Amino acid sequence: MFSKELQILDQNTVKYMIDEMQEELDNKKEELDTAKTELDTVKTELDTVKTELNTVKTELDTAHTKISNQSKAIADQSKEIADKEELIAKLQAELKKYQK
């Protein structure tokens, strides 16, 4: 009889330990699911930031190209002005020759 009671006690202890381990396993699975959800959220946010960064980079490249084109246009206009000023100076010198 004593042996039978010990056997029942052992079975109950084993069942209790299995239940405890299952509960712990379920809790760990839930924690893992929560961590995966948080990771997915962070990945989505990262993708959004990457997209925004690419947009800003494209805008910056466009602005840089526009500035380069404007700088070239200004340089061309400055050269044209310098050429015209040189021509004006030559014409004024020639005009002075004829006025004497």
Chain segment 8-24, per-residue pLDDT in tens: 888 999 999 999 999 99
Q: Let me know how long the chain is.
A: 100
Distance CA 55, CA 49 (A): 10
> Which residue range(s) make up the domain with 16?
1-100
Q: Could you tell me which residue, 5 or 36, shows the higher pLDDT?
A: 36
What pTM was estimated for this model as a whole? 0.60
Distance CA 9, CA 32 (A): 34
H runs (alpha helix) in the chain: 2-99
Distance CA 22, CA 30 (A): 12
One-letter amino acid at 78 equals S
For the record, the structure tokens of 72 come out as 């070239």
> What is the number of structural domains in the chain?
1
For the segment 33-60, what is each residue's pLDDT rounded down to a tens digit?
Answer: 999 999 999 999 999 999 999 999 999 9
Reported confidence tier of residue 1, pLDDT bands at 50, 70, 90:
low
Distance CA 42, CA 91 (A): 72
90 φψ region: left (φ > 0), alpha (ψ -120 to 50), beta (else)? alpha
